[in-house]
Chain A
Amino acid sequence: MSPAPKRKKVVLVGNPNVGKSALFRHLTGRYALVSNYPGTTVEISRGRLILEGIEYEVIDTPGVTSLTPQSEDERVACEVLLKEQPDVIVQVADAKNLRRTLRLTLQLVELQRPMVLVLNMVDEMRERGIEIHIEALAELFGIPVVETIATYGYGLRHLLRAIPRATVPKNPLREQHREVLGTSPEETGLPVGLIAEWMEVGDARFQRQVEQLLARLSHVRPALEPSSAPRGCHGCSTPRSLCWALERARARFLEEAVLTLRKEGGAQPRRELTPSAFRMWMGLLFCGVGLLVWEELGGRLLWPTPAMWLGHLLLRYVAEPTWALFHAHRLDLMHRLFFGHPAKPEYGLLVEAVRVLVLLAPLLVPAFVLMRHSARFLHQLGRWTRQPMTGIPILGVMLILVYELVGYTGAQTLVGALEDVLFGTYLIPWLRSRIPSGFLHELLVGPYGLISMGLTYALAIILPVVGTFFLAFGVLEDSGYLPRLAILSDRLLRLMGLNGKAVLPMVLGLGCDTMATMTTRILNSPRERLIATLLLALGVPCSAQLGVILGIAAAYSPAVTLTVLGVVASQLVLVGHLAARVIPGERSDFIFELPPLRVPILRNILLKTGLRLRWFLGEVVPLFLLATSALFLLDQVRFGARTGIEWIEHGLRPLVVGWLSLPAEAARVFVMGFLRRDYGAAGLFDLARQGALTTTQVIVALVTITLFVPCLANLLIIVREQGWKRAFAIVGFILPFAFAIGGILGRLLKALGVFS
């Protein structure tokens, strides 16, 4: 048998947010196969493509603004380009930002690999009345150039034809390279301009690659050495002056290229709503916002609201009359799922669907129509969302929407339906009756059983909450809202030694701190990653935990919720501020592009959510089971008179009872919180329901458990991202800190006598 022909490698590169992953999906048919790249922990995706009988491996890379990497994800993209030796580089570009595109092209050209340039999002470009001479562009670099709209698959055929026909590009800056560096990429086969820039950037981790490149062609090196460089600024040639000279050459080239390649006014602007239709939809939108606020206030203050009214009607005229019918056909479970338990109708999925529809439709339908059909509205909205006067109320509405979806639909209804109805009423009792008592029974369905505790917890409580959160997050992410939030929060985050960019991991942390800790990679400096990781572990409550906190606090009074969240937030700011002073290094620049607002495409959001959930199930659920097993073991193994759990509780008791002034049972809550901090919160929920806690104790317990150590999954990710030493230091700080704050808060509240 003849050896299989070597697969060719196609690497997709481009600025962030230009549609690489969308193209990747079209090329390979997979949304994103997430894999770890050797040596780093940043994900790149790989897929397969067969074109004209040749098999290609398509590699999707994180977005880069240039090939001089500034953050972890950019570094990964550069390493892929250098290490993988791609057979074809496909540069994916935002067609409306030609200058920036070509700047990256100029750098890619230096690699001297076959290239294709894809001008994506040509629809957005044409809407702005811009056209590009693609023939001239193809001529300039000597490579195929295709136009696409990746989200709709437009232009894909041309791309598929172009990939096998990719050519090694011409370097338009060849003369300038010669002049400044004394050599050029064509002569040496090395990206000499890039090497000079990499030397200047001086990133230690990337430096190795550069050194290797330099070693490969030592005769280039003298040219790049400061002393012998042929020409620099004012006669002194350092890598920096070389870089600046290159930068000037590049700027000059781009200036000219953009002037000749771009033609304005060639295309028609997008269809626009007529002014009267625009006014009507705007009116409806504001009515929708009003209605939402009315519902929210009504829900709290018990005004009659349309959603409540409709819910009643549904129960009265649909649920009750059909009960007998369902029961007769042994469909009790289905009826319960649709309409909820008679005692808890809010857990009914159908009832909830009606509620959500009444609540959201009046707001979302006009918003969708306007965003879809009016460029003017999108532009306006883009402005409103980034200015504080309008942006903060909009943020408020967004928070309400997310809360409705995650805190209510997810954390109450879905959790109720799954945990109470499906698992609690049917599955677990059924399993208990089937499994003979003994070790296996205890292990699977006992009080700390793998199924009765671990799986129930993972699938019935955490999954719906995290799932709805990822859904909401996906919408925010795809619409382009989050970067605008970064602007609004930049100043606040700067207090904590971070900048606006950190808003993404912080918001994601409200969904799952573990996943958020991984996304800290988008931050520019190791220092910021460390601070963000610390803050996430310390006090950003994840959605499961937040649900429980809000649930308990709401059972007492809004003042409790506000106190808890206020104290936690103030500690976040305080610790962040101190950390920023203690941890060496400088704040990195906040330079951040705002993508245009877009209407999110449902399919993409569902795919993204599905992908995140799959990750969650794969990575986090096993940890749940691990944690449950640990609890189970501690519960089973006896040392003397007590089980393991009781020993730990006993050890913690002085701290919990003496220092925090909580009842002795709360010690168990903290033990569980160590393994999974929302386990702890859930335990607190039980204690609170039994009426075992005073209001002050509830506040103290909630604050302490929120600040308490991260869950096991998060801890493991911290270890992976930051190393043992730092993970240990983080825990070593958080543990005493959480208890200290809890104790101080308890004494303060008692002294002030605010709560009972």
Chain B
Amino acid sequence: MEVDWELSELLEALWTLEEQGGALPQDVRRIAHTEVTDRLLERAVGAGLIAWQPSGHLRLTPKGRSVAMPIIRRHRLAERLMCDILGVDVDETEAAACEFEHFIAEGITRAICTLLGHPRVCPHGRPIPEGACCRQAEEQVNALVVPCDRLALGETARVAYVNTRSHPRLLKLSALGILPGVSIKLLQKWPSIVLQCEEAEIALDEETAREIYVWRSEEQGRDELL
């Protein structure tokens, strides 16, 4: 289910409070990164994401939990990324991670998770919800997003992004149908790289092929940015 910015902030706050015990409306109002109005609460209740407890606490419904889980996961992975890889101070990660969580795609999340070695906790010590990639960690030794020339012959993969500084090249590729989200198959590596994309075969030089990054495994999700 798609939720908007405000709702996701609300769910996030609830999740965090529930980890510490219960969530009272005033606590939610205090820590959420959005203005928690009564209307917002009503909307969340109406959507079946949260429910009132008889004790006056707010609680995530199972549906709410499933919606909130990936958001939390993104947020905390983003914190780890900034902390571990970029060397940002722990206290400063929070604000950036809040931005981050809203727009990183599921595929990228997975790539970050793999890159970081499937971390279990965030820099603040809170648990990072497990993703599918963490459960398969043993099999997933290879990087998930690779330049397409690293695929095996005959392997199919989805285009993640075209990492090029050349706009004409990007245009040319997308005109031929090589766009993020599209499935491509590597048909040949030498002397030129040949990809199958839709019903067309496209020959590329290596330099260009190296700029097309793909998700290795097919069933793994598409770029949600699109």
Number of cross-chain contacts by CB at 8 Å = 125
Report whether B198 and A483 are in contact in the complex, using a CB–CB cutoff of 8 Å: no
| Chain B CB within 8 A of A247 CB | yes
- In whole angstroms, what is the CA distance A591 to B191 when docked? 14
The residue from B167, B175, B191, B203 contacting A104, defined by CB atoms under 8 A apart = B175
Chain B residues with Cβ under 8 A from A201's Cβ? 167-168, 171
Which residues of A65-118 are within 8 A (CB) of B?
65-66, 68, 70, 96-100, 103-104
Which residues of B135-188 are within 8 A (CB) of A?
166-177, 179-182, 187-188
Chain A residues with Cβ under 8 A from B187's Cβ? 383
Known A-B contacts A589-B169, A591-B204; A487 and B199 likewise in contact (beta carbons under 8 Å): no
Report whether B198 and A97 are in contact in the complex, using a CB–CB cutoff of 8 Å: yes
Min CB gap A570→B, angstroms: 20
Report whether B204 and A252 are in contact in the complex, using a CB–CB cutoff of 8 Å: no
Measured CB to CB, the nearest residue on chain B to A201 is B168
- In whole angstroms, what is the CA distance A382 to B203 when docked? 13
Among A383, A499, A593, which residue has the most Cβ atoms of chain B within 10 A? A593
Measured CB to CB, the nearest residue on chain A to B225 is A248
| Chain A CB within 8 A of B194 CB | yes
- In whole angstroms, what is the CA distance A200 to B165 when docked? 12
| Chain B CB within 8 A of A290 CB | no
The residue from A128, A250, A386, A592 contacting B199, defined by CB atoms under 8 A apart = A128
| Chain A CB within 8 A of B226 CB | yes
- In whole angstroms, what is the CA distance A68 to B208 when docked? 19
Report whether A100 and B181 are in contact in the complex, using a CB–CB cutoff of 8 Å: no
- In whole angstroms, what is the CA distance A385 to B179 when docked? 27
Report whether A382 and B171 are in contact in the complex, using a CB–CB cutoff of 8 Å: no
Known A-B contacts A255-B181, A488-B191; A500 and B203 likewise in contact (beta carbons under 8 Å): yes
User: CB-CB contacts of B191-226 with A at 8 A, as 1s and 0s?
Assistant: 110100011111111011000000000000000011
- In whole angstroms, what is the CA distance A125 to B199 when docked? 9
Report whether A589 and B203 are in contact in the complex, using a CB–CB cutoff of 8 Å: no
| Chain A CB within 8 A of B5 CB | no
Report whether A70 and B172 are in contact in the complex, using a CB–CB cutoff of 8 Å: yes
Report whether A70 and B168 are in contact in the complex, using a CB–CB cutoff of 8 Å: yes
- In whole angstroms, what is the CA distance A100 to B179 when docked? 10
Q: How large is the interface on B (under 10, 10 to 19, 20 to 34, 35 or more residues)?
A: 20 to 34
Which residues of A197-255 are within 8 A (CB) of B?
197, 200-201, 240, 243-244, 247-248, 250-252, 254-255
The residue from A68, A99, A200, A387 contacting B198, defined by CB atoms under 8 A apart = A99
- In whole angstroms, what is the CA distance A15 to B172 when docked? 12
- In whole angstroms, what is the CA distance A490 to B203 when docked? 10
Report whether A65 and B175 are in contact in the complex, using a CB–CB cutoff of 8 Å: yes
Min CB gap A182→B, angstroms: 21
| Chain B CB within 8 A of A594 CB | yes
Min CB gap A489→B, angstroms: 8
- In whole angstroms, what is the CA distance A247 to B176 when docked? 13
| Chain B CB within 8 A of A388 CB | yes
| Chain B CB within 8 A of A180 CB | no
Report whether A483 and B203 are in contact in the complex, using a CB–CB cutoff of 8 Å: yes
User: CB-CB contacts of A441-484 with B at 8 A, as 1s and 0s?
Assistant: 00000000000000000000000000000000000000000010
| Chain B CB within 8 A of A491 CB | yes
Report whether B192 and A487 are in contact in the complex, using a CB–CB cutoff of 8 Å: yes
Report whether B174 and A247 are in contact in the complex, using a CB–CB cutoff of 8 Å: yes
Known A-B contacts A251-B180, A483-B203; A100 and B171 likewise in contact (beta carbons under 8 Å): no
Report whether A96 and B225 are in contact in the complex, using a CB–CB cutoff of 8 Å: no
Report whether B199 and A96 are in contact in the complex, using a CB–CB cutoff of 8 Å: yes
Report whether B171 and A251 are in contact in the complex, using a CB–CB cutoff of 8 Å: no
Report whether A97 and B200 are in contact in the complex, using a CB–CB cutoff of 8 Å: yes
Chain A residues with Cβ under 8 A from B176's Cβ? 65, 100, 591, 593
Measured CB to CB, the nearest residue on chain B to A68 is B171
- In whole angstroms, what is the CA distance A66 to B172 when docked? 8
Min CB gap A705→B, angstroms: 33
Min CB gap A145→B, angstroms: 18
Report whether B192 and A590 are in contact in the complex, using a CB–CB cutoff of 8 Å: yes
- In whole angstroms, what is the CA distance A494 to B139 when docked? 40
- In whole angstroms, what is the CA distance A128 to B226 when docked? 27
Known A-B contacts A66-B171, A100-B176, A201-B168; A593 and B200 likewise in contact (beta carbons under 8 Å): yes
- In whole angstroms, what is the CA distance A387 to B190 when docked? 8
Min CB gap B98→A, angstroms: 16
- In whole angstroms, what is the CA distance A98 to B166 when docked? 25
| Chain B CB within 8 A of A130 CB | yes
Measured CB to CB, the nearest residue on chain B to A96 is B199
Report whether A386 and B170 are in contact in the complex, using a CB–CB cutoff of 8 Å: no
Measured CB to CB, the nearest residue on chain B to A95 is B199
| Chain B CB within 8 A of A712 CB | no
| Chain B CB within 8 A of A143 CB | no
Measured CB to CB, the nearest residue on chain A to B211 is A589
| Chain B CB within 8 A of A486 CB | yes
Report whether B198 and A255 are in contact in the complex, using a CB–CB cutoff of 8 Å: no
The residue from B190, B198, B207, B226 contacting A252, defined by CB atoms under 8 A apart = B226
Which residues of A381-428 are within 8 A (CB) of B?
382-383, 386-388
Report whether B172 and A251 are in contact in the complex, using a CB–CB cutoff of 8 Å: no
Known A-B contacts A65-B176, A488-B191, A490-B205; A247 and B170 likewise in contact (beta carbons under 8 Å): yes
- In whole angstroms, what is the CA distance A741 to B166 when docked? 41
The residue from B168, B169, B173, B192 contacting A490, defined by CB atoms under 8 A apart = B192
Report whether B181 and A590 are in contact in the complex, using a CB–CB cutoff of 8 Å: no
Report whether B180 and A100 are in contact in the complex, using a CB–CB cutoff of 8 Å: no
Measured CB to CB, the nearest residue on chain A to B164 is A589
Among A103, A201, A251, which residue has the most Cβ atoms of chain B within 10 A? A251
Report whether B202 and A248 are in contact in the complex, using a CB–CB cutoff of 8 Å: no
- In whole angstroms, what is the CA distance A244 to B181 when docked? 16
Chain B residues with Cβ under 8 A from A591's Cβ? 169, 172-173, 176, 202-205, 208
- In whole angstroms, what is the CA distance A130 to B207 when docked? 33
Report whether A593 and B174 are in contact in the complex, using a CB–CB cutoff of 8 Å: no
Report whether B203 and A487 are in contact in the complex, using a CB–CB cutoff of 8 Å: yes
Report whether B205 and A590 are in contact in the complex, using a CB–CB cutoff of 8 Å: yes
Chain B residues with Cβ under 8 A from A103's Cβ? 174-175, 177
Known A-B contacts A96-B198, A97-B199, A248-B226; A388 and B191 likewise in contact (beta carbons under 8 Å): yes
In the complex, 14 of the A-B residue pairs with CB atoms within 8 angstroms, ordered by the A residue number, are: A15-B175, A65-B175, A100-B200, A103-B174, A201-B168, A251-B174, A255-B179, A255-B226, A386-B201, A388-B190, A388-B191, A487-B192, A488-B191, A589-B205
- 18 extra A-B contacts, CB within 8 A, seeds A15-B175, A591-B169: A65-B172, A66-B172, A70-B168, A99-B179, A100-B176, A130-B199, A247-B174, A251-B180, A251-B181, A386-B201, A386-B203, A388-B190, A487-B188, A487-B191, A490-B205, A590-B204, A590-B205, A593-B201
- The 6 closest A-B CB pairs, nearest first, are A65-B175, A66-B175, A590-B205, A96-B199, A594-B201, A100-B177
